[in-house]
Structure 1
Amino acid sequence: MKVVKFGGSSLASGPNVEHAINIMLADSDRQVMVVSAPGKSKLEDTKVTDLLICYAKEVLNKDPKKDETVTEIFSRYQNIGHYFGLKDSALEDIHQILLDLPNGNYPNNDYLLAAFKAHGERLNAHLITLIFNHLGRKARLLEPAQVGFTVTGEPNDAIINPETYLNLDQVKLKDGEIVVFPGFFGITPSGHIATFSRGGSDITGAILARGFHADLYENFTDVNGIFASSPAIISNPLSIDKMTYREMRELSYAGFSVFHDEALIPTIQGYVPINVKNTHEPENPGTMIVPEKGFKADQAITGVASQKHFSALYLHKYLLNKEAGFTLRILQILSEHNIPYEHMPSGIDDITIIFNRKFLNDQLIDLICNEIQATISPDRLEWIDDYAIIMVVGEGMKDHQGLSKEILDSLFVQNITPQMINQGASQISIMIGTKKEEADTAVKTIYQHFFRED
């Protein structure tokens, strides 16, 4: 049995939905279809999720433009329905659900926003179920509330409740029937809608793949699998045929946005392989993401990626290695201000703390620097805003001697001196800190060294 997820671009228009339906019907093992909200069918379109966010804000601000926004949202579903010959009377429930959204019982504005956002997927699942049945294909809509798909955490950044897997075990899938399930959201213990982080339909698909004990989780998007580097940096990068969960996890963190990194956790826990494929070229094998056990790497490096949204705090203090509690006191300061850190490479007299810049502002930076200076009296304290991280990842790295030297030598040729280099404990990744303006050149240099054509 296969769980199949389609992204927003794959469901953006009538022809795209028809293509997705044909993919489902081409393989009888494809029993569960997880749908995203309609994306852009043309460049000037607005994604339905963004329209729903606009609708939510207009409701909160009592903006009369909300009626126009409802019309625009409904027209996206209406156009898809009309493509398949559905009459407006068959689509009236979708329209009414949209109109009724402002009248829901929401504990606060965060819950209201989550509920509005989630309806991009919810209404699309309603619509696609209607289309299947209109075409004479047996399909059943399942919603999170029906199957006990429960979540906890923040209304707009939810995490799955482990009880969900017990509930999914009770759901019976019928032969010859396609189940259509909305992605992106679940139901809180008190019965309210909460969404995963943006792009969270990948997470829904992974949870269902584990919960239904799928043999394969197929994730259809608009590219032929996962590339060894970003096409925005490398022209026509190589496509990865097969990679491991942990390679994908490392590369997702470093900027590979094809597949949501949080979606790996349920599939890892359930040992469900993932196949990332192109909706427009379903015959292309795409990229398989598999467990590490028994995996044989064809080459040292699987991929190289970068992210530029980092900052770093560099501290130097003589005899740091002999001072008990030094790191603890720093972490206590960060904890008091609810600031997470990404990495903390260190030496005998030095420590660098790397932060995701989105959790910081100038006031917080000054505050924590002042408190750290007052608490631990470092000999040197330097805040570095110009910071990017390059991740070089590959299961074959642990068997490739001299790899770090190869990487550093190739960078030195380009006059790039890394500010930090750190090899992970798993031995399948090397993290390199550079200046932001050097990041793209560093990625190109490393890619060309390991993936250059003969």
Structure 2
Amino acid sequence: MIKVVKFGGSSVANAGQFKKVKNIVESDLDRKFIVTSACGKSDNEDHKVTDLLYLCHAHLKYGVPCDSLFEIIKKKYLKIKEELNLSINLENEFEKIQKSMTKNISVDYLVSRGEYLAALCLAEYLDADFIDAKDVILFDYDGKTNFDRSRIELQKKIVSDRRVVIPGFYGALPNGKIKIMSRGGSDITGAIIASLVNAAIYENWTDVSGILVADPRIVDNPKRIDYITYDELRELSFMGANVLHDETIFPVREKKIPINIKNTNDPQNPGTLILDTCSDKDDKKAPGFITGIAGKKDFTVFNCTKINLSNEIGFLRKTIQVFEEFSVNLEGAQAGIDTINIIVETQEIEEDRYMIISNLKEKLGFDEITVVDNLSLIAVVGRGMSKKPGMSAKLFGELGLKNINIKTINQGVDEINIIIGVDNKDFEKSITCIYDRFITKGENI
């Protein structure tokens, strides 16, 4: 059985964390492929290496010296080398990087060095083979992973049964140039490797013991989710529950490879297991019909009115197209006989809201357009909600008892989630209310 394990920045923040990683890896012979992020923060006074590298690039771009920033990075890695008694020639690696640090340096190359250096150190410390991500994570020019080419190249690089360490967050384009992923992309690297080697499981080690039912900054000591489906996680991630990078699921989903979210600082905790589907046994261990609650603040609703709007063919497409022209992503659209409500993130329309209103009136002839800000969206997600008649009514009723006004409602046909809109001022109150009624008080069974 092959296990792919990925360690986040907090798991490799210092020599002490490296030692925890080694204990975890060596405790299971099946943990063959190790993916690492760049070194993260050791404490609140520390800095993430990736952040520092982005700052270095910004300084170089505008001709501002960044020697002091790069020195922080050097000291961080050299301290790890010293405390772990590594023999790797980091000084030579830093010299190569510094020689390339000109005004025109590629941001992808520079920022990827955080993962590259961490992987070199970790490979020696684990007595494992190092494989550079640029040689095995291969993109097409459109940025999509070429799994066939990547699989062939990875097989070529595996020359023994030894463990392999691969830096996360980057790969290479067909011309060999390094391309980084979006922030948190090391999660995706681990998922790609898991797919390429047909892993039995993909373990994602971080600084939390799995996924929680609700945000611990809002709900005091929320329960951990034992099992969750890919679909449920996608819904929660979309609404702000960001334990994993949003795109992590795609490489493993086709092969139904489970993802296990684990805590490097509490390795005995089972964490959260993410599956394609959950069995009846798994469902019995779930928190209940509601799996998780997540949400985000600061949305805006465009309420557009026109008599007999629903009789106009293509009105919805034409309305959405106006927002597309301003590169605004829609979070929701609800249509009635004479009205259509478009929900967007407020920050996306701040500069263009009046132009959008003008275009809507001019191109579609709306009689009236009102814009409402300070809306929060909350997703109540659960694979079991479809088995519980009256869940929506109970949810809305409970919020009503707490004098919370529901402004928008959206529920998918598969009944895996209910998304409600409330005033920003009621955001935390709403999540707490839902958690107390359906989780704490046992109403979720």
Q: TM-score, normalised by structure 1?
A: 0.91
Mapped pair 1:221 → 2:222: no
Rounded to whole Å, the distance in 1 between the matches of 2:277 and 2:153 is 26
Rounded to whole Å, the distance in 1 between the matches of 2:204 and 2:255 is 16
- List aligned pairs for 1:29-178, cutoff 5 A: 29-64=30-65, 66-86=66-86, 90-103=89-102, 112-132=106-126, 137=127, 139-150=128-139, 152-153=141-142, 158-167=143-152, 170-171=155-156, 173=158, 176-178=161-163
Of 197, 220, 225, 2:182 maps to 197
Kept after mapping to 2: 8 A contact 1:151/1:194:
no
Shift of 1:249: 0.7
- List aligned pairs for 1:11-410, cutoff 5 A: 11-64=12-65, 66-86=66-86, 90-103=89-102, 112-132=106-126, 137=127, 139-150=128-139, 152-153=141-142, 158-167=143-152, 170-171=155-156, 173=158, 176-292=161-277, 294=279, 297-298=283-284, 299-362=288-351, 364-410=352-398
% identical equivalent positions: 35
Shift of 1:285: 0.5
SS at match of 1:102: coil
Shift of 1:7: 0.6
SS at match of 1:114: helix
Instruction: Determine the structure 2 residue equivalent to 1:109.
Output: none
CA deviation map 1:76-135 (0-9, x unaligned):
111111111135x732233223313325975xxxxx222222211111111212323xxx
Kept after mapping to 1: 8 A contact 2:5/2:204:
yes
Instruction: Determine the structure 1 residue equivalent to 2:8.
Output: 7
Flag the 1:275–1:15 CA change in 2: closer, same or farther, 3 A.
Answer: same
Kept after mapping to 1: 8 A contact 2:135/2:172:
no
Kept after mapping to 1: 8 A contact 2:11/2:21:
yes
Shift of 1:345: 2.2
Segment of structure 1 superposing worse, 229-238 or 310-319: 310-319
Rounded to whole Å, the distance in 1 between the matches of 2:339 and 2:202 is 45
Give the aligned residue type for 2:26: L
Rounded to whole Å, the distance in 2 between the matches of 1:82 and 1:305 is 43
Instruction: Determine the structure 1 residue equivalent to 2:428.
Output: 440
How many equivalent pairs are there? 437
Kept after mapping to 2: 8 A contact 1:304/1:393:
yes
Rounded to whole Å, the distance in 2 between the matches of 1:172 and 1:269 is 24
Any unmatched runs of 5+ in structure 2? none
Rounded to whole Å, the distance in 1 between the matches of 2:279 and 2:149 is 30
Flag the 1:309–1:127 CA change in 2: closer, same or farther, 3 A.
Answer: farther
Kept after mapping to 2: 8 A contact 1:310/1:385:
yes
Rounded to whole Å, the distance in 1 between the matches of 2:355 and 2:148 is 41
Segment of structure 1 superposing worse, 424-433 or 337-346: 337-346
Flag the 1:277–1:335 CA change in 2: closer, same or farther, 3 A.
Answer: same
Shift of 1:445: 0.6
Shift of 1:361: 3.0
Shift of 1:356: 2.8
Give the aligned residue type for 1:45: D
Rounded to whole Å, the distance in 1 between the matches of 2:390 and 2:261 is 32
Shift of 1:425: 2.8
Rounded to whole Å, the distance in 2 between the matches of 1:405 and 1:92 is 64
SS at match of 1:194: strand
Rounded to whole Å, the distance in 2 between the matches of 1:73 and 1:159 is 30
Flag the 1:175–1:281 CA change in 2: closer, same or farther, 3 A.
Answer: farther
Runs of 4+ deviating beyond 6 Å: none
Give the aligned residue type for 1:400: K
- List aligned pairs for 1:419-434, cutoff 5 A: 419-434=407-422
Give the aligned residue type for 1:226: I
Kept after mapping to 2: 8 A contact 1:230/1:237:
yes
CA deviation map 1:232-263 (0-9, x unaligned):
11010000111111111111111111111211
Shift of 1:380: 2.5
Shift of 1:163: 4.2
